[in-house]
């Protein structure tokens, strides 16, 4: 079972639907006990960094997420959820993050001529085998649940990682 953390900042319906489509059971929850008793945890996200962190703190989920990592339960952050894994964001001023991956999330410079926030159908190009990763904490800046076969394969890979976590505990 995969827990999708419910903190009102995610594309949770599509994530849950994509996981079901590829054969993984998932539950949308903010309940600490449920989150700590699954095979994997997914932190989706759409929106702004500071308000998302505020809701995670308000619901007591920051400590729960840290306990997930302490227990070595696989954790995947998607889009804003990936950004929250880092130590800090400079979006609209410095805001501390979860601190699970070293580094700072920087704003897209406005002088590049890109729309901010940058959204659209871009092609993903792999420059290195792994992007945001530390131990069993993984992050994807884009939305795999909206990225066709490639995105579903990435979610399938995460699902397979959660099965190895379950097998190690048996």
Cβ atoms 30, 12 nearer than 8 A: no
Out of 107, 127, 145, 170, the active site residue is: 145
128 φ/ψ angles, rounded to the nearest 5 degrees? -150, 155
Q: Calculate the alpha carbon distances from 161 to 59, 76, 120 in Å.
A: 27, 10, 29
Identify whether 127 is a catalytic site residue. Answer: no
Residue 55: pLDDT above 70? yes
pLDDT in tens, 14-23: 888 889 999 9
Predicted confidence at residue 169, as pLDDT, reads: 66
Out of 66, 130, 143, 170, the active site residue is: 143
pLDDT in tens, 101-142: 999 988 777 787 766 665 555 565 666 666 877 889 998 876
Q: How much is the pTM?
A: 0.85
Out of 58, 66, 67, 79, the active site residue is: 79
Predicted confidence at residue 91, as pLDDT, reads: 84
Identify whether 118 is a catalytic site residue. Answer: no
DSSP string, 5-64: E-SS-S-HHHHHHHHHHTT--EEEE--HHHHTTSSEEEE---S-HHHHHHHHHHTTHHHH
Identify whether 145 is a catalytic site residue. Answer: yes
- Reported as a pLDDT band with limits 50, 70 and 90, residue 43 is very high
């Amino acid at each position: 079972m995969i827990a999708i953390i419910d903190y009102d900042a995610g594309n949770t319906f599509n994530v849950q639907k994509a996981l079901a489509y590829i054969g993984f059971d998932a539950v949308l929850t903010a309940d600490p006990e449920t989150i700590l008793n699954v095979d994997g945890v997914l932190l989706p996200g759409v929106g702004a960094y500071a308000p998302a962190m505020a809701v995670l703190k308000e619901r007591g989920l920051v400590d729960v997420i840290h306990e997930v990592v302490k227990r070595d339960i696989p954790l995947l952050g998607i889009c804003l959820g990936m950004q929250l894994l880092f130590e800090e964001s400079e979006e609209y001023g410095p805001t501390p993050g979860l601190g699970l991956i070293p580094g700072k999330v920087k704003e897209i410079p406005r002088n590049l001529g890109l729309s901010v926030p940058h959204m659209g159908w871009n092609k993903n190009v792999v420059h290195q085998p792994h992007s945001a990763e530390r131990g069993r904490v993984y992050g994807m800046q884009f939305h795999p649940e909206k990225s066709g076969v490639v995105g579903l394969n990435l979610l399938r890979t995460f699902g397979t990682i959660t099965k190895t976590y379950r097998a190690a505990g048996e």
